[in-house]
Chains A and B, each alone.
Chain A
């Protein structure tokens, strides 16, 4: 008896291809420890709860359930083996294999969502099938079972939260320098200025650029240039406050946003970074590398009031610093 929509069995050829795909993938055991224990626990106490279970026997190649189909049952594998796949069966992504004592399909029930993958029996497989209603009944009758499920839920949610954090960091960080990237800057900049306007405090930005970086790269090569960017990124990270936003703005351009910093504070910070950079000696493959930076400093709301125009103002100041001989900082003159 099956509560899943229909019973579909792969042809011998299709099954053969599936085995081939499994062999090609280094299939790992995907079942977390908690779940394995859970399946074993339920299987062990089977007789006690036998009225809550139905048995389902699958032949090799039989689909136990399909991806994207709403879940109605949880299964515990009593004997046999199944594979968990995602995507089209003609080109499946193999997620892993599951065997005796393991539970499948519980997340769709707990999340009231569709199945996140398709599960196919690889050999003659005997399953205990628990309907949604009985699954929750079981959860309520057995303390051990419900504790295990809760432990599972918290592990799953921790994994999800870690994954969100990881993806976020990947998306907003420049991998070479460890600073934020331009994408992050634009996602936060307008918001910072709005907040500054509301609370009536200034926001300064420092736009930094390595002097003659193209010549540097031509002389020492790009890997050496990358090393300089990396070192500079680290130095900037150490020279900014917690509230500041330091970004790699372009190739060799860095932009630092300093909320609640008055112009004189920002100018002092620009000078600190410039001087520190001038002091830096970077050892790289037997060579000692050195570079200088120029900086342009602009202040909200005195010099500009939007992200775009503020960066343009800093860029103008940077140009002035470059024109005046590099290795220095400049800002917008008072009289414009």
Chain B
């Protein structure tokens, strides 16, 4: 991975949270060197902090997170069209 990731402060909540989730999944499933793991962890912590800051500042774009939360409900949804 030669391309450096975008600065965290430029990300929307949705982007930051999606990246955080991806990092968590990656750390849980893939083998890393320690340095990589620490770097990913640090990036993850910064993303989480950014999400919390945006949440405080009400600058949210949180479709993705809520979509995944309501999935179980949606699965039982009758055909509404």
Residues in chain A within 8 A of chain B (CB atoms): 110-112, 139-140, 146, 149-150, 153-154, 156-158, 160-161, 163-165, 167-169, 171-172, 180, 183-184, 186-188, 191, 237-242, 265, 269, 272
B15 to chain A, nearest CB (A): 13
Q: How large is the interface on B (under 10, 10 to 19, 20 to 34, 35 or more residues)?
A: 35 or more
Which of the residues A139, A149, A164 comes within 8 Å of B52, measured between beta carbons?
Answer: A164
Is the Cβ of A161 less than 8 Å from the Cβ of B20? yes
Known: A156-B41, A161-B44, A184-B60. 18 other contacts (CB 8 A): A112-B42, A140-B34, A150-B34, A154-B37, A157-B24, A157-B41, A157-B45, A164-B52, A165-B69, A168-B17, A172-B62, A180-B66, A184-B66, A188-B62, A191-B61, A238-B77, A238-B78, A241-B81
Is the Cβ of A161 less than 8 Å from the Cβ of B62? no
Give the A-B contact count at a CB cut-off of 8 A. 106
A325 to B81, CA, bound (A): 27
A241 to B48, CA, bound (A): 29
The list of the 6 closest CB pairs from A to B, nearest first, reads A154-B27, A187-B60, A153-B41, A150-B37, A157-B44, A146-B34
Interface residues of B in 1-52 (CB under 8 A from A): 13, 17, 20-21, 23-24, 27-28, 32, 34, 37-38, 41-42, 44-45, 48, 51-52
Is the Cβ of A188 less than 8 Å from the Cβ of B52? no
The residue of chain A having its C-beta at the shortest distance from the C-beta of B38 within the complex is: A110
A168 to B55, CA, bound (A): 7
